Amino acid sequence: MYKYLVFLEQREGVVKNASIELWNTLQQLAAVREDITVCGVLAGTVDLHQLYDSLAGKGVVYHASDQGFTLYNSERYARLAGDIFKREACSALFFADTILSRELAPKLSIRLKAAMLSGFPLFDATGVDSGTLRPVYSGSAMASFHFDCPLRIYTISSVPILSGTSSRGHIDFIPLQRLFSDTEEEFYPLLRRMTMREGRQDVTEAGIIISGGRGVGGADGFVLLEQLALLLGGVVGASRPTVDEGWRPQSEQIGQTGKTVNPAFYFACGISGSVQHLAGIASSAVVVAINNDCHAPIFDIADYGIVGDLRLVLPELLCTLQDFLKKQ
């Protein structure tokens, strides 16, 4: 019997889509394999009705809604997830691959004496107990991992697109009250708030990303990308040089040393397509590249390519899309 614990990560009261997709994928697996059950742990105040509607399958979600859990605190969150993991006698703990989990998972791996695999795409959840494949060297090779240790922790970078609808059973939210006393606060001074600018969606959560590279030419050049993102309901992403130059914030950097994204549409504007950048966008469903160099490597992986100066192409694209959307 395998019991999987899913960490449902919230930010500012909203559970991340990546965590919900992870839960739903594992529930689908549990529906076909009778030896698997799934439970969850959630820290912070969220709209439970809304969450209930988006979760498939059945099981129990332990919910710590104390004020002390509203903001991320690695010590508290680790204690919470670790205690539930032990109490439920789980065999694996799953996180969506986020900045938070990259800090929390190694901590828990040491505490729980569990093997840890980070940034792992869940190609096929059925194989998760025996061993897994993970891209290495910026996606140019696949490594096969097998575990000796019975307990595992995964941070999952992407899940397969679900086919069909998952059956819906009952999900119980079990409130955990007053896990830590007020006096304990002083032992946890490292209270950190991870906020996004003006409540913008994080690139890891976005369905549409308009990303800019050095070819954008400067911070001002990103105005066109912002407009396109606004029109399409997407967010702006960035290559590393644009962040190093201070044109964009680090939170938008995509790639090997930035974030891994998996949008439905990824627009690469003035991005050459280095292996380090491609490492972060491999799971994008459709890639559209705009570049004035027809030999740029980005065109090797793009589904659609426009060869041209983005300062001319983007205004044209904006006008065409505005006209198109007006007629809808």
Ligand X SMILES: Cc1cc2nc3c(=O)[nH]c(=O)nc-3n(C[C@H](O)[C@H](O)[C@H](O)COP(=O)(O)OP(=O)(O)OC[C@H]3O[C@@H](n4cnc5c(N)ncnc54)[C@H](O)[C@@H]3O)c2cc1C
The contact set with ligand X (CB under 6 A) reads 213-215, 239-241, 253, 255-258, 270-272, 274, 276-277, 280, 290-293, 296, 309-311
Q: Nearer Cβ to ligand X, position 109 or 253?
A: 253
Smallest distance from the beta carbon of 270 to ligand X, in angstroms? 4
CB-CB contact of 92 with 154 (8 Å): yes
DSSP label of 259: B
Smallest distance from the beta carbon of 139 to ligand X, in angstroms? 12
Q: Nearer Cβ to ligand X, position 45 or 276?
A: 276
Smallest distance from the beta carbon of 222 to ligand X, in angstroms? 12
CA distances from residue 252 to 70, 73, 215, 293 in whole angstroms, order as listed: 24, 23, 16, 24
**Three-state secondary-structure class, residue 49:** helix
CB-CB contact of 157 with 120 (8 Å): yes
Q: Nearer Cβ to ligand X, position 3 or 214?
A: 214
CB-CB contact of 105 with 155 (8 Å): yes
Q: Which two tokens stand for residue 157?
A: 């970078």
Smallest distance from the beta carbon of 173 to ligand X, in angstroms? 37
Smallest distance from the beta carbon of 213 to ligand X, in angstroms? 2
CB-CB contact of 79 with 138 (8 Å): no
CB-CB contact of 152 with 117 (8 Å): yes
Q: Which two tokens stand for residue 8?
A: 């449902």
